[in-house]
A = this chain, B = another copy of it.
């Protein structure tokens, strides 16, 4: 029991291992990086990672970053069942990812969709640039 944050949902052994790996990292991890990290814990093949990731993403504990083909543990302040749009700010310098929840953005996307008669199911917003810390440094 290294760092089993997020009680309330009970995860299986593999899901917990994958979640812990992501929680312990300070940036996004690819599925194959997770696989390598967990080989010493018994993982042997991609499906073990992908199945855990699928579930974790499904219940909202993990997010997939489409533009990176990678995954991050959810660090959203009040992350329980966030239905709002989440934006990710990905630093191209240090690689860290900030998770941003913004009502105005959600509204704006909703309006854009509505205006063109589009039934919005899911939004992907990923910002690339340089984070504050790296700019200061």
Chain A residues near B (Cβ < 8 Å): 66-67, 87, 89, 91-92, 98, 100, 102, 104-105, 108-109, 111-113, 116-132, 135
Contacts and interface: CB of A to CB of B under 8 A. Distances in A.
Contacts of A122: 127-129
Contact of A130 (B118, B123, B128): B118
A131 B118 contact: yes
A98 to B, nearest CB: 6
A135 B123 contact: no
B113 A121 contact: no
Nearest to A92: B121
A125 B124 contact: yes
A129 B121 contact: yes
A120 B116 CA distance: 27
A129 B121 CA distance: 5
Q: Which of A100, A118, A129, A130 has the most chain B CB atoms inside 10 A of its CB?
A: A118
A121 B131 CA distance: 11
Contacts of A87: 109, 112
B126 A98 contact: no
Nearest to A67: B66
